A = this chain, B = another copy of it.
Amino acid sequence: MIAKEEIKTYFESLQDRICAALEKADGRANFHEDLWQRAGGGGGRSRVVQEGEVIEKGGVMFSAVWGDLHEKMLQSMGLKEKVDFFATGVSIVIHPRSPRVPIIHMNVRYFEMSNGEFWFGGGIDLTPHYIVEEDARWFHQQLKAVCDKHDESYYPHFKKWADDYFFNTHRNETRGIGGIFFDYQKVNPTRTKDQLFAFVKDIGEIFAPIYTHFMAKNQALPYGEAEKTFQLLRRGRYVEFNLVHDRGTKFGLETNGRTESILMSMPPLAQWVYDYQAVEGSEEAKTLALLKKGIDWL
């Protein structure tokens, strides 16, 4: 069976490949690296771009942490006795300069406990400032193709999971056009650890081709002040989702995680206007009308 060290090593190499691909596609971006240690065990390698050509602010974070499982986590899992844990993963959020290029988020992770339980989680989801249905279809097609290679039930299941997860309940709108999200993927009679890991690797590897596609295709599209303002408002909603609803962010902040690494997901600049209303029939109104669960983008 695959050892945790192998998964950790793979995630580290994935971070390297993704950073290299993003730097190349950006042309100017240079990831700044911070190595950090966690008091309770393990640490991470945070890589952040600020002021790239296409990427205004983005982070590609690797971490591998271990130690006593936090009290809050024991509670949430209904565990009564202390256990040790090991967790490793890669987490990405990219805020592009142009409102024509979408915000993207990717995460792949592996979690194991000293009681013998282990599972994988992850996903990729897209938050276009302006939704272009053609782009949305292409994005979901890529995800479905990767999912189908492993299990045809994955895409419909994980697509719905993303719709439900990336939802700003207090705004009654999705964060973007979703994608796939999955957690607690465990070994079972029809699924080996090798197979689960192979799926997670494929998700990790599809990230760079997907995002560099949008970087190349959309970065030169024209936009003006109105589009820039709408981008800042959409980023405000991104902030709201991450700080109010995102479990990973909340859990990280509550359990004394590395704040700068967790909040690398914050946009470079965001705006709030009281009671913003899009002009009827505008491009903005069209996007807002598409921020709904259950849309079949394919």
Contacts and interface: CB of A to CB of B under 8 A. Distances in A.
Contacts of A253: 169-170, 244
Contacts of A34: 275
A198 to B, nearest CB: 33
A171 interface: yes
A263 interface: yes
A264 interface: yes
A19 B63 CA distance: 50
A118 to B, nearest CB: 28
A244 B252 CA distance: 12
A260 B274 contact: yes
Interface stretch (A8-16, A96-104, A126-134, A265-273): A265-273
A43 interface: no
Contacts of A268: 271-273
Given A170-B253, A253-B170, A269-B269, A274 B240 contact: no
5 contacts: A48-B274, A239-B239, A243-B243, A268-B273, A269-B270
